[in-house]
Amino acid sequence: MNPCNVAWMKQREIRDYRISLRGIQATMLILLLAAVPVWAGSSIAPKLDIGKGGQCVDDPKFMRKNHMKMIVHQRDETMRQGIRGGKFSLAGCVDCHASKKDNSVLGSNEHFCQGCHEFAAVKIDCFECHSSKRKVIAEVSK
């Protein structure tokens, strides 16, 4: 149904046709806009407790896709070559992303690392050794 093929239509009819096309586009746009929050809020996407807030060490979109590569790369550099102070530190992730409620990145499907990994069916062993808790420093009372 291409508007060019309906040249035999009377002007009015063509205009009607265009209006209805716009109507369809608008309807679809509204539907899309409405669908995004519905999708994000539904049980399909994990609802994550971001933790302390601030700004992630990189673009969140990039992090979502690449955090595993970045952490593991930095891990090998730190462990084997002694390069310290990089931004993709596991302890750093935990410090920011641990929930403000219990200082942990694990515990439920809302906790940052566990929530998304459960959703994506990923299992990591890092927290068998690494602390999953934010280090609470005594200076807080200062």
Partner 1 sequence: MSDKVNLGRRQFLSKTSAAIAGIAIAPGMLLFDFVHARPAGEAASGAVRWGMLIDTTQCESGCNECVTACNKENGLPVAKLPTDVQWIRKVELKQVSTGRQVSLPMMCQHCAEPPCVDVCPTKASFKRADGIVLVDKHRCIGCRYCMMACPYKARSFVHEPVLDHDSDMPRGKGTVESCTLCVNRIDRGELPACVEACAKAGHRAILFGDLNDPNSEIHLRIRSVASSQLRADLGLNPGISFVGL
Q: Which of 48, 71, 93, 94 binds partner 1 (CB under 8 A)?
A: 94
CA angle, residues 137, 138, 142, in degrees to nearest 5: 115
Interatomic CA distance for residues 50 and 97, integer angstroms: 5
Is 85 one of the binding residues for ligand HEC (CB under 6 A)? no
- Residue entry with tokens 């399909």: 44
Residues 98-127 touching partner 1, rule: CB under 8 A, are 127
Task: Return left, alpha or beta for 110; rule: phi > 0 is left, psi -120 to 50 is alpha, else beta.
Answer: alpha
SS3 133: strand
Residues 69-88 touching partner 1, rule: CB under 8 A, are 75-77, 79-86
Is 30 one of the binding residues for ligand HEC (CB under 6 A)? no
> CB 128 → partner 1: shortest distance, Å?
4
Q: Which spans of this chain sit near partner 1 (rule: CB under 8 A)? A: 75-77, 79-86, 91, 94, 127-133, 135
